[in-house]
Amino acid sequence: MPVGGLAEAERVELTVDAVAPGGHCVARVDGQVVFVRHALPGERVIAEVTEVHRGFVRADAVTVLDPSPDRVEPPCPYAKPGACGGCDLQHVAPAAQLAWKTAVVREQLVRLGGLTDVELDRLGVRVEALPGGLLGWRSRVRYAVDAADRAGLLKHRSHEVVPIDRCRIAHPAIQQLPVLTSTGASWPAAEAVETVASTGGDVTVTAVRDGVPTPVSGPTEVREVAAGRDWTLPASAFWQVHPAAADTLGTAVLELLDPRPGEVAWDLYGGAGLFAAGLAARVGPTGRVTLVEAAAQGVAAARQNLADLPTVEVVSARVETALARRRITGPVDVVVL
């Protein structure tokens, strides 16, 4: 225990201050910074220390003495200290969640981006909700498997598996899969179980054993619908987990960058090519788009899904390697990073 500092498992009464990334709020005890989960700004709580680091500690609010008016009962019984670490803000009212996330984004743009509050106000920086509500939206869920062969979700910043009856934010088709112990399922020799409910209507289950995905049910490739196109990719490949995210992000990128016909664009860390497809449509036949991706699944998916776009080149490399070895070279007009 640091001299004059807090020790792991110690409980302390404190008043919570501003929000921070990762579902934390900031508090201070005798000058020591405490990042507190399961709390809201302004609340007085009893917090239990979970980690001690040089310069700061982490803690969970285990008792709320003076609750915020923005506090609600979490819809999931596992969204609490010592249980599942997957959801950060289920104890926060929906409107306050948006305000919380907006505050985090603004703080990052000030601290890392060097913008002023006046500039952020002029830009209208805000966080808006995607359609579909707070529950039943997540189209990809990776369950961990414990030593008793039970699938569940991990505690916050831990490898400990929490067995659950169902994940409330998972897509309804995923919630109905016979994956969890409550359905009688068991997963010997597996370290994880991956589930997908795609926007194209495919539902898959994949067991991961020794790092190798093994199909259990459903197709090995899934169809996604976004940006006015159909996409086909391996069930275990990266895709946005919210059904509306791909279209929303693609639209935002094009609105912010406003690519013009004939321009040269780079899509770095380009994945299956969602942004590259939108860029190609904007720069037209006289423009050029270069997508750079290191993951083999992403490269293969991009080459397959963008084969009808002759102005798009897919480069299989790490971005820093592609730049250092001049696999991609300027001049360039637009960069998605």
Spatial distance between the Cα atoms of 174 and 216, rounded to a whole number of angstroms: 14
Show binding-site residues.
240, 269, 293
* Cβ atoms of 75 and 90 closer than 8 Å: yes
* Cβ atoms of 45 and 65 closer than 8 Å: yes
List, for residues 58-111, the tens digit of each pLDDT value.
Answer: 999 999 999 999 999 999 999 999 999 999 999 999 999 999 999 999 999 999
Give residue 5's pLDDT band: very low, low, confident or very high (50, 70, 90). Answer: confident
List, for residues 113-126, the tens digit of each pLDDT value.
Answer: 999 999 999 999 99
Helix (H, G, I), strand (E, B) or coil at 134: coil
List, for residues 294-335, the tens digit of each pLDDT value.
Answer: 999 999 999 999 999 999 999 999 999 999 999 999 899 999
- To 5 degrees, how large is the angle CA 143–CA 148–CA 151? 15
Show binding-site residues for S-adenosyl-L-methionine.
240, 269, 293
The confidence score (pLDDT) of residue 71 equals 98
